[in-house]
Structure 1
Amino acid sequence: MAEELDRRSEPELGLRERKKRETRRRIADIATGLFMTRGFDNVTVADVARAADVSVNTVFNYFRTKEDLFFDRQDEMVEAVGRAFRERRPGEGVVALYRRTYLEGLDQGSYRTAFHEGSEVWFKTVSDSPALTARSRELGQQLKDALAGLLAEETGAGPDDVTPRVAAAMIYAAQGVLIEEIAARKAAGETLAEMRDDVYASAARVFDMLEHGIGDYAPKPAPGE
């Protein structure tokens, strides 16, 4: 009898979990819309709860802080670092992995690349709020730390070996510049179609630099040249 009850409860638990995730995503989507329209600092959690037709307590059941409402995919992004690294193709190095996934993100218009409509509004919302700016930096550090840990484990680097941390910092710094450039050009009025060729060309140059190094980049011209 107990086993029969357990079997009956499995689909119910699955349904409850799906509903919880749907509720969480709906609250986050409504909150993000309010933040991007009115500014993060001008919206309260009570405003979000009212717009989502839930109680303030319900909001905090799903999100620990107001910032979590905006960065609702933070945990998902950190987990994705490990998943992509472990599932990379045989023989694929870390730069090749990030090149491939970044270009795939451009093809798909992923939020991870900013190559989609509305990315400039998202970035302005972050830059206008000290709290979101701080959280964005925190997320960036989490991503770098996650990759550095994976690289150290993969290569057997010791705790005093800075190479994994330097590699992770270089990759995320380069990728961050690409993303910021897209958002800046969108904010200046360019369309995705207008910047598309430049975006892909810039990505190719940047990942080539990561792969081959910058030792011969920008040498000082000899006198008279």
Structure 2
Amino acid sequence: MTEGLRERKKRETRARISDTATGLFLMRGFDSVTVAEIARAADVSVNTVFNYFPAKEDLLFDRQDEVVGMLGRIVRERRRGESAVRAVHRDFVDALNTGDWRYGFHEGSDVFGRLVNASPALTARLREMNELRIEALAETLADEADAAPDDLTPALVAAQICAALHTLMTHAVRRQLAGESVAAILPDLREQAGHAFGLLESGIGGYCVREAAQETPDEIGESASRAPSA
């Protein structure tokens, strides 16, 4: 569907407000900047800011919905014969290889980390986002596995996957904050990720595996014709 003029202007206004706020936060710290100052700098009213961002923290975490729903989407789109654990591991490595932001480790993530660590409000919001991500992933796993309402397995699996990701990212960003470059950290992070997801595979790797595509009668016949004779 083609984006209309009104929708495009709303999207551009939202992005301008968020970008303006982020710039001010990075210069002066989250707690030192008021919403009124952000509104003036973005050339909008305070009411307009709150129309787009109900809370001040939303100005920085403007991709919260995307982050919260990301793991569930990865699981829903996993390949045939692929488990939830393997799907997340594959996507995680892809993000590392491409320098994508979606797992929180990339060029500049140390700047974001310092900003969040300096604000109790942002730290609390980040914890809340992690809890929401676990809940969202658990709901997806329950749907994909057709789990019973009282089955705790989806929640347990979601918690373990998210805990592994959180541990890996915390370790990487701490090294970045200590002065190491992304290029220096990446090789070890890939290895640590392989170890972490390997541990998950040994425990929950068989959970929520997408069924492989069944062969059609023609494909079965082709397979039989290619089989070696006794």
Instruction: Report the TM-score range of the alignment, normalised by the length of the smaller protein.
Output: 0.7 to 0.9
Alignment RMSD (CA, Å): 1.8
How many angstroms apart in 2 are the aligned matches of 1:123 and 1:198?
A: 20
Q: Structure 1: how far apart are the matches of 2:193 and 2:27?
A: 31
Alpha-carbon distance in 1 for matches of 2:98, 2:11 = 23
Are positions 1:69 and 2:59 aligned together? yes
Matched, 1:137 2:127: yes
Select 2:111's aligned residue among 94, 108, 121: 121
Deviation at 1:159, TM superposition (A): 2.6
Unaligned runs of 5+ in 2: 205-230
Identity of aligned residues (%): 55
| Pairing partner for 1:150 from 132, 135, 140 | 140
Q: Which residue number in structure 2 is paired with residue 41 of structure 1?
A: 31
1:171 aligns with 2:161: yes
Q: Which amino acid aligns with 1:122?
A: F
Does residue 1:54 correspond to 2:63, yes or no? no
Report Cα offsets for 1:170-208 as digits up to 9, x if no partner: 000100111111111111001111122111111111111
1:114 and 1:182 in contact (8 A); partners too: no
**Whole-Å Cα distance in 1 between the matches of residues 23 and 109 of structure 2?**
13
Q: TM-score, normalised by structure 1?
A: 0.85
Distance, in Å, in 2 between the alignment partners of 1:115 and 1:143 is 17
- Aligned position for 2:19: 29
Aligned residue for 2:4, secondary structure, equals helix
| Residues 22, 60 of structure 2: 8 Å contact kept | yes
Query: Which structure 1 residue ranges, 4+ long, deviate > 4 Å from structure 2?
Result: none
> Which of residues 183, 196, 199 is equivalent to 2:189?
199
* TM-score scaled by length of structure 2: 0.83
Greater RCO (CA < 8 Å, at least 6 residues apart): 2
1:186 corresponds in structure 2 to 176
| Deviation, structure 1 residue 129 | 1.3
